[in-house]
């Protein structure tokens, strides 16, 4: 069974901003692929993670990619991090994600906490409609947003509305040019809930009649533990 590649968002500054799920993922992973291993050592020490550190950045040799894919192929879970923020967003990591996906490796994103403040996102035009649908799922269709294209240029245009309205519009009229998406904040701080107890959650899901396989996958998604650990825990119950 292949390991899982976790794409983990890390704090821009204060390490205490790391979400409980991200901390649990970094602690449980067999290896962490990092843009700067010196920087990431501090983060791993903060969460008491003893994962193997593998250097992986924009100029890494092919051997680094092969090393990570070998770990995943051997059934070991790997967390991908960059110096700050979410990997593959203006950061290295897209090559690794693409290679893992080609090999059928499960990929799980561990995002940072949703912001109470307005968020600005830069996206490629062909992906704007899909991004807006993802935002509808994550933030709710009534969240206000604006899509601006070609800012400061001759054909500058800004369209505002709810995420549902914007998703529908750009599904029919694909965006062109450089695109900036601005999403309104929640207006209030987001309370970080502690992940549920894995064993208790597994018992509850089994009691609902779910298969052990489905329970293990749901458990990994909800609690942040690795898929391998989730399978072991479910089989022990």
Task: Give the global pTM.
Answer: 0.55
pLDDT value at 11 more than 70? yes
pLDDT at residue 128, as a whole number: 94
Radius of gyration of the chain (CA): 19
Quote the pLDDT of residue 90.
58
Q: Which domains, from first to last, does the chain contain?
A: 5-110 (3.40.1010.10), 119-183 (3.30.950.10), 198-236 (no CATH)
Q: Which residues contact 124 (CB under 8 A, 6 or more apart)?
A: 179
Q: What mean pLDDT comes out for the span 118-131?
A: 90
The average pLDDT across 45-70 equals 91
Question: What is the residue-wise DSSP string for 148-183?
Answer: EESTTSTT-EEEEEEHHHHHHHHHHS---SSEEEEE
On the question of pLDDT at 14 being above 80, the answer is no
Distances (CA, A) of 105 to 32, 33, 217: 16, 15, 14
pLDDT score of 113: 61
pLDDT at residue 188, as a whole number: 63
């Amino acid at each position: 069974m292949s390991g899982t590649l976790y794409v983990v968002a890390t704090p821009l500054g204060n390490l205490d901003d790391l979400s409980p799920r991200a901390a649990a993922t970094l602690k449980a992973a067999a290896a962490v692929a990092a843009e700067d291993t010196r920087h990431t050592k501090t983060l791993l020490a903060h969460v008491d993670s003893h994962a193997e550190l593998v250097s992986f950045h924009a100029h890494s040799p092919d051997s680094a990619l092969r090393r990570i894919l070998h770990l995943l192929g051997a059934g070991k879970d790997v967390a991908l991090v960059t110096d700050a923020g979410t990997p593959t967003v203006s950061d290295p990591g897209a090559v690794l994600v693409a290679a893992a996906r080609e090999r059928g490796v499960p990929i799980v994103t561990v995002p940072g906490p949703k912001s109470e403040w307005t968020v600005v996102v830069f996206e490629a035009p062909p992906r704007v409609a899909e991004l807006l649908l993802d935002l509808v799922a994550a933030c709710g269709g009534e969240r206000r947003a604006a899509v601006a294209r070609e800012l400061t240029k001759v054909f500058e245009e800004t369209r505002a509305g709810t995420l549902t309205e914007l998703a529908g519009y750009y599904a029919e009229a694909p965006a062109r040019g450089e695109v900036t998406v601005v999403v309104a904040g929640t207006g209030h701080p987001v309370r970080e809930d502690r992940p549920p107890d894995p064993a208790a959650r597994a018992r509850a899901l089994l009691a609902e009649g779910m298969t052990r396989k489905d329970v293990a996958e749901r458990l990994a998604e909800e609690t942040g533990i690795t898929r391998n650990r989730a399978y072991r825990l479910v089989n022990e119950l």
